[in-house]
Chain A
Amino acid sequence: MKKTKLGIFAIAIALFSACSDSHDDECHECHIAFDGPNGEIEVPINNSAGGEEFCGAELEEAEGADFSYTLTEDYIAGADTVPAGTYTEIHCEEHAH
């Protein structure tokens, strides 16, 4: 019986140790959210090093209200075109796959 009780407490500790609500997330891809005639168009953007993912402070900056991204040339998405220009509506959340 004592071994059983010890076992239970060990499991309990393991369970609660296994679950941590980490608010420190990894890196994520971001995109311009363009409101096109046929719905939202996602235009992938690059980080300052030219990579696809934004991390840490750079991610926080990209999600900030003052962040803007400049497309130097038009982006073609199927039958839609996102014109070159500066955009402030930046999203970094994942989507269904």
Chain B
Amino acid sequence: MKKSILLLFVMMITFSINAQIRGVVIDKDSIPIVDVEILIPDYDIQFYTNYLGEFSVDIGITNGSHLYLYKDGYESKISQYKDDTELVIILDDLHVDIDEISVTASYNILGNSKVTNIQNISIKDVFLNSNSMLESVTELSGVDIISSGSGIQKVVVRGLSGMRVVTYLNGMQINNQQWANDHGIGFTDLGLDKVELIKGSSALRYGSESIGGLLYFKDHPFVKLEGSKGFIASKFNSNSYLSSNQFGLKWNRNNLFFNIHGEYSISSDYRLPNNQYLFNSRFKQNAIKFSIAHKKNNLQNIFRYQLHNESPGIPGHVHGDPSTVELTKILSSYIDFNTDFKITRPNQFVTNQLFIYESNYFTDNSKISLYLGHFRNNLQEYEKWTQPAFNLTLSNTLINPNIKYLYNNSTIELGSQFSILNNVNNINQRLVPDASSINIGPYAIFNYEKDNLGVNLGIRYDYKKLKSIDNTVNNNKIFDIDYSKSFSNPSFSSGLYYKFKDHITRISYSGAYRSPHFSELFSNGVHHGTNRYEIGDDDLLIENANQIDLKYQWSNEHLGFVINPFIQHITNFISINPTDSFSGVYRIYNYIQYELVEIKGVEMNIHYHPHLLHNLHIEQSYSFLNTKNKDDSYGLALTPANSIKTKLLLDLNEYDKLSKYKINNLSVYHIHKFHQNSFAQYEEFTDSYDVINLQLGGKLNSKLEYNFLIHNLFNEEYTPHISRLRGVAGGVPNPGRSISINLKYNF
């Protein structure tokens, strides 16, 4: 008897430590669904159903952990794990296939998407399906990019960009000297799985300074597969002769997980619609990243490392007023394959390193986390061959303890972010001084959701101390800075969600602040990347933003509709404006502050899925934005023009006659940009334009996928209002027609 009890006890312990997650996924007709992705979001571990729709994995997760199930063509579902229970999960067909339109479950790192306006898109196949990651993100309404070809790209959210749109990668804020438009995002789509976007100031958990929005990029999860799987991918683009190659490998043994990815890309100058090439729009980049996770009982540890190098050229560089230069002076009439892939001047050398350590402890009702991150950016900008114009190292260390507690229908999160930032010039010559800052930001977030009602409340208080001491003498110019100042302010977010039949309404009100950046306070020198002499103002005050965001959506099997009006007021808005003075050949720009700026607009999405043509999807999004500078009669700089984006997607899998051609899908994407007649004093009116992209994709066999893309099908000549080169030579056009062939081999 004693032996039996002992044996039973041992079995119970063994079971509780090595608890199996098992079950089956079927459709509404009880047919098993193969290859369903099942993700345990809290643990970032993923597995798949087999050919019988079954899954059985030994991971050992806490009772009540959520499982997120996804398969293309089906409604996603969130299920809860219960000890010793075999799950039977039914996935319904999904007709209306946009997250924000269909009423599907989704998991989000940034919060509860029912009560907070969070959009997320999958980017795990963006290398195969798109020209670039950020171009793919712009398919979201209200999102644009500032760019000069594919080498330098920055995201704009509802007209705001730079330091007002904060980027996170795997929980770490990416500080890539984003105070200037010639400094890109600092990483590629390598190894990424999805991106979540909050528009406006509701991203409390991740900082108060994201008054324009927050983009959270997340790596592929770890995969439970007792072995390995991987891919090799390659793409070629005819417009700039871009060649890009990636590899990825995932490996798992018991509770140890390992992911590794690498990339190398090289591109020449891009071709304009007139068949000339924008000189020095070339770039080169490589990256490698790996992640290791280990789970033992209720404790999980994750370590990540990423190294990214890039060398983008800085096109449109002139000596003098860039608006008066002739376009032909910065264009090449041909590509010299011997020289036009090589780095020339001016250019940047950027090296980014990211170190992350996370430790998570799980109980049935809580998750206790400790997050440590360190990001190091080195930026060298060269105009001359032998001496950089500046050489900056920016390092950011983040410590973030967090407790998430679930109680009945509520979730409470308490935590704090401790951030230390150092900006160091490695040479005498400089544009911005040495500076450092310490930021402490405790926060509390409460979510309640039951039946058809949801509520979100969050509050955060930030204390930031900014210090700069710099007395460098260079070229008869003295940086005479002895500055120390504290900034502190509360931020808040609140949201309400209500669902009545097929109608969902969400309203949120949030407030945040942004302290001035050291570049805005202390700049004093030539910035070759922008062709100007920039001067800061150390009397700048905190920016304060308040936003109201309303979202209504409705959908049935064939039609979905979303409307999202919003309004945001920003006081003490910091801007940079030209003066009538010159330093040498460079016009002087001063950082100034506007008392009040108003940004309002409406975004709408429609998804139509005809009953008679079941494999056709028509999606259309509308973005209308109005910015007002209450201080003068001009508009705000870099306000994107209004737009209508339309996508027709035809799933060809059902047509047997086409299957022999290995074509699985066809899509046409059209973007119409309206003219922009609201602009800042130094900007100009921009004409409307239309661009059409075509895409054909399929599988050559079970392992090899391809995509054939034609961008700018009709070779339209256009310059976006927010192009980095809009003010150069009357506006440098975007790339002309390009043809890409993208391949991916999975094993």
Contact = CB atoms under 8 A, between A and B. Distances in A.
Partners in one complex: yes
Interface of A: 1, 4-5, 8, 11-12, 15-16, 18-19, 21-23, 25, 28, 33, 35, 39-40, 59-60, 63-65, 91-97
Contacts of A60: 386-387
A93 B383 contact: yes
Interface string B375-409: 00000000111110000000000000000000000
A97 B344 contact: no
A92 B383 CA distance: 9
Contacts of B332: 96-97
Contact of A65 (B266, B333, B475): B475
Nearest to B335: A97
A5 B264 contact: no
Contact of A23 (B288, B325, B336, B349): B349
Contact of B245 (A5, A15, A59): A15
Contact of A12 (B262, B266, B328, B747): B262
Interface residues of B, number: 44
A94 B385 CA distance: 10
Contact of B230 (A8, A59, A63, A95): A8
A23 B383 CA distance: 13
B319 A33 contact: yes
B346 interface: yes
B245 A93 contact: no
Nearest to B318: A40
Contacts of A5: 228, 230, 249
Given A39-B326, A93-B345, 6 more contacts: A15-B245, A15-B263, A16-B264, A59-B386, A63-B387, A96-B331
A28 to B, nearest CB: 6
13 contacts: A19-B284, A21-B309, A25-B343, A39-B326, A60-B387, A63-B384, A63-B387, A65-B475, A93-B383, A93-B385, A96-B279, A96-B330, A97-B332
B286 A19 contact: yes
The 4 closest A-B CB pairs, nearest first, are A96-B279, A93-B345, A15-B264, A60-B386
Contacts of B230: 4-5, 8
Contacts of A23: 349
B262 A15 contact: yes
Nearest to A90: B384
Contacts of A33: 319
B334 interface: yes
B320 interface: yes
Interface string B574-610: 0000000000010000000000000000000000000
Nearest to B350: A21
A94 B345 contact: yes
Contacts of B232: 8, 11
Nearest to B264: A15
B385 A4 contact: no
A33 B319 CA distance: 9
A12 B319 contact: no
Contacts of B249: 5, 8
Given A5-B228, A12-B288, A16-B286, A40 B319 contact: yes
Interface in B295-323: 309, 311, 319-320
B695 to A, nearest CB: 27
B509 interface: no
Nearest to B351: A21
Given A16-B286, A94-B344, A97-B334, A40 B385 contact: no
B385 A15 contact: no
Contacts of B747: 1, 4
A65 B386 CA distance: 12
B452 to A, nearest CB: 50
Contacts of B326: 39
A5 B328 CA distance: 49
A66 B349 CA distance: 26
A89 to B, nearest CB: 8
Nearest to B336: A97
Nearest to B585: A35
Contacts of A92: 345, 384-385
A15 B286 CA distance: 8
B718 interface: no
B479 interface: no
B82 interface: no
A35 to B, nearest CB: 7
B630 interface: no
B611 interface: no
Interface string B409-431: 00000000000000000000000
Interface in B249-299: 249, 262-264, 266, 277, 279-280, 284, 286, 288
A46 B569 CA distance: 59
B732 to A, nearest CB: 12
Nearest to A19: B286
A19 B742 CA distance: 22
B247 interface: yes
Contact of B311 (A1, A21, A91): A21
Contacts of B585: 35
Nearest to A28: B385
A35 B230 CA distance: 57
Name which of B227, B309, B386, B747 has the most chain A CB atoms within 10 A of its CB.
Answer: B386
B329 A96 contact: yes
Contacts of A4: 230, 747
A40 B263 CA distance: 41
Contacts of B284: 19, 21
Contacts of A16: 262, 264, 286, 288
Contact of B247 (A8, A19, A39, A96): A8
Nearest to B387: A63
B344 A93 contact: yes
A25 B387 CA distance: 12
Given A16-B262, A25-B385, A63-B385, A91 B333 contact: no
A56 B336 CA distance: 25
A21 B264 contact: no
A33 B317 CA distance: 14
B283 to A, nearest CB: 12
Contacts of A18: 264
Most chain B C-beta atoms within 10 Å of own C-beta, residue among A5, A35, A60, A93: A93
